[in-house]
Amino acid sequence: METAIPFHKVKKYLANLVHAEERINYKSGQVLFYEGHQPYGIYVLRKGRIRLFKKKNGGEELLKIIEPTQILGETEFLEGKPFDYSAKSETDVSVSFFSRASLQAEKEKRHEVKDE
């Protein structure tokens, strides 16, 4: 059975993860990524709306609208698969972006936190 990590260690880990965050702003209509591209990280929508769509018959097929606090791209990122949809800002948006490098660094810190 896995032993729970004490709260003070979890708090330290989460504080470090917040420091790994990169905030990115997109204007309405800007594309965050395209269908077929490899993910470089995970997005958390802070403000605005993002449209997920697929190209179909020369147009766009709406798949979903992402609202604030929703996470975007985590499945593709974790599974190492290309996006099977595109993402475009419907409004001006602000996202928290966690790159592969920053998440890897935090993963290494987490092991250090568990060993303390």
Query: For the ranges 9-13, 30-34, 85-89, which has the lowest average pLDDT?
Result: 9-13
**How long is the chain?**
116
Which pTM does this prediction carry? 0.75
* 3 state SS of 95: strand
- Top-confidence residue, 105 or 110: 105
Distance of CA 40 to the CA centre of its chain: 9
Q: How many CB atoms lie within 10 A of CB 13?
A: 17
In degrees and rounded to multiples of 5, residue 94 shows phi and psi of -130, 130
Superfamily of structural domain 23-115:
Jelly Rolls (2.60.120.10)
Rounded distance between C-alpha atoms, residue 98 and residue 20, angstroms: 7
Q: Please, are residues 77 and 38 in contact by the beta-carbon 8 Å criterion?
A: no
pLDDT in tens, 25-40: 999 999 999 999 999 9
- Confidence at 98, pLDDT banded by 50, 70, 90: confident
Q: Please, are residues 93 and 31 in contact by the beta-carbon 8 Å criterion?
A: no
